[in-house]
Amino acid sequence: MRSSYLAYAMSVIVSRALPDVRDGLKPVHRRILYAMRESGFTFDKAYRKSARAVGDVMGKYHPHGDSSIYDAMVRMAQHWSMRVKLIDGQGNFGSVDGDSPAAMRYTEARLAKSASFLLDDIERDTVNFQPNYDESESEPQVLPAAFPNLLVNGASGIAVGMATNIPPHNPTEVIDAVLALIANPTMTLEELMEIVPGPDFPTGAMIMGRKGIRQAYETGRGSIPVRACAEVEEIRKDRFAIVVTEIPYQVNKATLQEKIADLVRSKEVEGISDIRDESDRSGMRVVIELKRDATPEVVLNKLYRFTQLQTSFSVNMLALDEGRPRTMGLRDVLDAFIRFREDVIMRRARHDLNKARDRGHLLVGLVLAVANIDEVIALIRSAPDAATAREQLMARDWPAGDVEPLLELIHDDGNVIVDGRVYLTEAQARGILELRLQRLTGLEQEKLQSELDEVSSKITELLEILGSHIRRMEVMRDELLAARAALNTPRVTEISNALGDQSDESLIEPGQMVVTITRDGFIKRTPLDLFRSQNRGGRGRTAAGRRGDDVVVRSFNAHTHQWVLFFSSGGKAYRMKVWHLPEAAPTAKGRALVNLLPELGDDSITAVLPLPQDETLWDDLHLVFATASGNVRRNRLSDFRNIRSSGLIAMKLDEGDSLIGVATCREGQDVFLATRQARAIRFQITDEILRVFAGRGSTGVRGIKLAADDKVVSLCVLNHVDVSVEERAIYLRMANARRRAAAAAQLGEGDEDSVDSTGEADDSASIEGALSDERFAELEAQEELLLTVTDTGFGRRSSAYDYRVSGRGGQGITNMTFSTPRRGREVVGTMATLDGTDVMMVTDTGRLIRLPVAQVRVMSRQAGGVTLFRVNGEERVISVFPVLESEEDDAADAEGAVEGAAGDTDSETSAEEKASAQENTTESDADE
């Protein structure tokens, strides 16, 4: 059994499945080409029935089924399978959709012109022949290929215990590489790759990256990612389509479309409304029509990931070298071809030399006869028969004359020269007897001499070829140039330096986006300029379409090229560029996050963090985490630089806990936590108070001690300012007095609901212990203002100096006083804001308002605030976030805010509410 199986395995390896490195063909392909040449089915003849060619191959050389022979012939005629077609077919030879070819009785074929470069000179003893299966015919062991067909057309096959998969290449580039290697045999692989940068697939497409190519050319094995060529076209107003014009090699176009349709039906890929094939004789065109709110780049990237629009070609350059299977790199294949082609040239020269010597031998006899024609004629006339005449011609010596140097040139061992006289051989005597009388004319005598000179010159050339390696390389170069001119075609496969998993940011217009996330896990991005500023107390606009009772729970603004970290309710982190998120109109519902983050599972996104666009800043930044239960933790941002697609554990959470915020911070800054029941705490970020955690698997430490039904709703990071308690209190009184004086000067009669009446004097200079102007200006420059918003749309700004810095883990201080239910029942959020910027507020019904913070007056931290957003009935504000814009926009918005505030009166604010606000602002700070 062992010997039988080994014999079978070697038969499959050598005689069926693996190509020969010399001509790049398997036995079946070699037999088809040779049989068609022997039958005269060449490119300059008429087409013949394919069945006839298959019959000749099967009857003479290939003892297997006709279907295997016909399938091999069909493949050599398909332009999408072969980089250079070897068979010229007429009829239905299949399609790139996987359609079967017509039966061989219906199709016609002949050799393509390119096949002649594989078969030329085969009759000139250039290759060895072997008996066929029944020893009734002989077949070539290899074809005398004039170009490296193994690299040009590639090969694939599965043998016993081994397989091969060689990609096709551009014929011009491969031949140029051989020419360069002939000129400089010491070329390195890097120099060769400048000529042959990579495979050139007949279906085009695009190779992503060069690492796989380099590995394959060096070791013979590698993986090359190949991506389809697709463009985004606007097919009609506001409707786009992805148009695929080239697909990866060996991908079935019909199967590809079926796979896309299955993904759409299973909702793994959303945003596709229709798929149609518009391919015709002019080329491939698969149109994937998108829905109105779909992002073409995101849909295309998903198709690259989940379909064969992007594949990996696994290179395994295994071929037969001198009858043995061998894995070879690019240089090995080219060297093997050069050695083989030099051997072909030598064998052909040797064959032609023998032919030329035989002809020169006869010509010498004829020239001698013509030179002594009278004696030759007399001898022949006197001879009784031809045999006697031949013997007499051979027995007599003839003057060598001018042919003696020629005899030495052709190394004629048959002629014997004695004292300048030549004895003819039997072949020469027969040639003389067969000489026609017309050859005796003067013109024919000149032709004989001219032919003899030509043969002499040819023999000299052939001897030079046989004796000089340099001359053989020159011949090879000339023949390669001829093949290059006939096979010259431009490269169709583009090679991109980008990796297959790299995002194409060059396709994305930079700009500011508002990203919105709903409770049910829908996300979208909307250009910021779609939201116009409104004055305080406006009615807002619809922010997002909703499914059922779905509501917006999180919003932020970021640049399209920023990285965004997503933190799930389960404590995992995900990373994505903003432009990867689906773009949609303000009223659109967005896309499901589970489609963008496939590993999210049943978790929901509870915290989102846009990272600095300049990644060099990441090394100096830390992340501070806060949970609803009041825990905090600090990690280095670099711990989250590499996040796999399946996510990364960011923080270990206790049962029932969740992340409510993540922010970037530096050593020495302050952490500010605000709770739902209007408590707040501020503590400094130091190694003693909040150390840097080495791992990501801990639950952190306590940041604030909460009441029974309370939870943390906001986290922000403030700059730490060294100021004493006395200075802080004096500064707050002076700053309030100056703000009241400025507001009175601007508003005239004033907006009663906007004025923070603390009961203190407006003249800051009269305050006991007033700060110097220099110290006041210094503290004012470092002051940060915190905006606090309630669920009923009330809010106010307060100085960060109003929140003392304490230790970590305390109960905190009062953040806001709810004098009436109308002013709020719980705090939605507290955040740091800057003059000239805007904030956005979102309600549970999906309404959104954009409000300049300059319209919100600065008040005591215990004040109940003023109306920022008029809500309807049971409608509640659920989210508030800041908006940052350019300096020009900031200036314009600030100017508009002042004008709007001057003309705004809160007519709905009752006297009772105003009195309550007055009472709240005069309360003492019991917590301090």
Looking at the DSSP bridge assignments, the partners of residue 356 are none
| Marked catalytic residue, from 5, 8, 106, 133 | 106
Angle (deg, nearest 10), helices 725-747 and 887-902? 70
Q: How far apart are the first and last CA of the chain?
A: 95
Q: Using H for helix, E for strand and C for coil, what is the string for 678-695?
A: CEEEEEECCCCCCCECCC
Q: What is the pLDDT, as a whole number, of residue 11?
A: 87
Query: 290-307: string of b/e by CB count within 10 Å (b at 16+)?
Result: beebbbbbbbbbbbbebb
- Tally Cβ neighbours within 10 Å of residue 392: 15
Closest-CA residue to 561 (of 574, 577, 575) = 577
CA separation (Å) from 15 to 8, 67, 654, 661?
10, 18, 67, 68
Q: What is the pLDDT, as a whole number, of residue 900?
A: 32
Phi, psi of 167 (to 5 degrees): -75, 155
530, pLDDT greater than 80: no
Contact criterion met (CB below 8 Å) for 316 and 221: yes
The per-residue pLDDT of the chain, averaged, comes to: 83
Closest-CA residue to 33 (of 106, 86, 102, 107) = 86
Q: Which range among 11-20, 286-295, 400-409, 484-493 shows the weakest confidence by mean pLDDT?
A: 400-409
Q: What is the pLDDT, as a whole number, of residue 770?
A: 76
> 173-188 pLDDT, tens per residue?
999 999 999 999 999 9
Helices and strands (H, E) in the chain, number of each type: 23, 44
**Residue 507 binned pLDDT confidence (cut-offs 50, 70, 90):** very low
Strand order in the sheet with 221-227: 155-158, 163-166, 310-316, 221-227, 206-208, 494-496
Q: What is the pLDDT, as a whole number, of residue 505?
A: 58
Q: Which two tokens stand for residue 390?
A: 């031949």
For strands 206-208 and 494-496, give the pairing: parallel
**Residue 144 binned pLDDT confidence (cut-offs 50, 70, 90):** very high
Euclidean distance between CA atoms 818 and 678, whole angstroms: 9
Helices (H), 235-372: 253-265, 296-306, 330-371
Contact criterion met (CB below 8 Å) for 455 and 360: yes
C-alpha count within 13 angstroms, C-beta hemisphere, residue 827: 29
Phi, psi of 343 (to 5 degrees): -65, -40
Mean pLDDT, range 473-483, rounded to an integer:
96
134, pLDDT greater than 70: yes
Q: What is the pLDDT, as a whole number, of residue 172?
A: 96
**Residue 756 binned pLDDT confidence (cut-offs 50, 70, 90):** very low
Q: Which two tokens stand for residue 732?
A: 């707050």
> 373-423 pLDDT, tens per residue?
888 888 888 888 888 888 888 888 777 766 666 666 665 555 656 566 777
> 776-808 pLDDT, tens per residue?
888 888 889 999 999 999 999 999 999 999 999
Percent of the chain with pLDDT over 90: 44
Mean pLDDT, range 494-516, rounded to an integer:
68
Amino acid at 15: S
Closest-CA residue to 865 (of 803, 801, 787) = 787
Q: What is the pLDDT, as a whole number, of residue 502?
A: 44
> 309-360 pLDDT, tens per residue?
999 999 999 999 999 999 999 999 999 999 999 999 999 999 999 898 888 8
> 834-892 pLDDT, tens per residue?
877 788 888 888 788 888 888 888 888 888 888 898 888 888 888 887 765 433 343 33
Closest-CA residue to 799 (of 768, 744, 763, 758) = 758
**Residue 897 binned pLDDT confidence (cut-offs 50, 70, 90):** very low
Contact criterion met (CB below 8 Å) for 552 and 543: yes
**Residue 598 binned pLDDT confidence (cut-offs 50, 70, 90):** low
The CA dihedral of 870, 876, 881, 887, to the nearest 10 degrees, is -10
Q: Which range among 94-98, 276-280, 725-729 shows the weakest confidence by mean pLDDT?
A: 725-729
CA separation (Å) from 396 to 363, 376, 389, 390, 400?
18, 10, 11, 10, 12
Euclidean distance between CA atoms 213 and 194, whole angstroms: 12
921, pLDDT greater than 90: no
926, pLDDT greater than 50: no
Q: Which residues contact 916 (CB under 8 A, 6 or more apart)?
A: 819, 820, 823, 864
CA angle 582, 586, 589 (to 5 degrees): 60
**Residue 307 binned pLDDT confidence (cut-offs 50, 70, 90):** very high
Assign residue 49 a region: left if phi > 0, alpha if psi is -120 to 50, beta otherwise?
beta
Euclidean distance between CA atoms 904 and 907, whole angstroms: 9
Q: What is the pLDDT, as a whole number, of residue 888?
A: 36
Closest-CA residue to 271 (of 242, 250, 309, 243) = 242
Q: Which range among 120-129, 320-329, 588-597, 894-903 shows the weakest confidence by mean pLDDT?
A: 894-903
Q: Is 916 helix (H, G, I), strand (E, B) or coil?
A: helix
Say what the pTM is.
0.61
> 633-688 pLDDT, tens per residue?
998 888 887 787 778 888 888 888 888 888 888 888 999 999 999 999 999 999 88
Q: What is the pLDDT, as a whole number, of residue 408?
A: 64
Q: Is 911 helix (H, G, I), strand (E, B) or coil?
A: helix
- Tally Cβ neighbours within 10 Å of residue 5: 10
Contact criterion met (CB below 8 Å) for 888 and 875: no
**Residue 908 binned pLDDT confidence (cut-offs 50, 70, 90):** very low
217 is catalytic: no
Domains and CATH numbers, the chain: 25-144 (3.90.199.10), 229-308 (3.30.1360.40), 725-921 (no CATH)
Euclidean distance between CA atoms 114 and 224, whole angstroms: 28
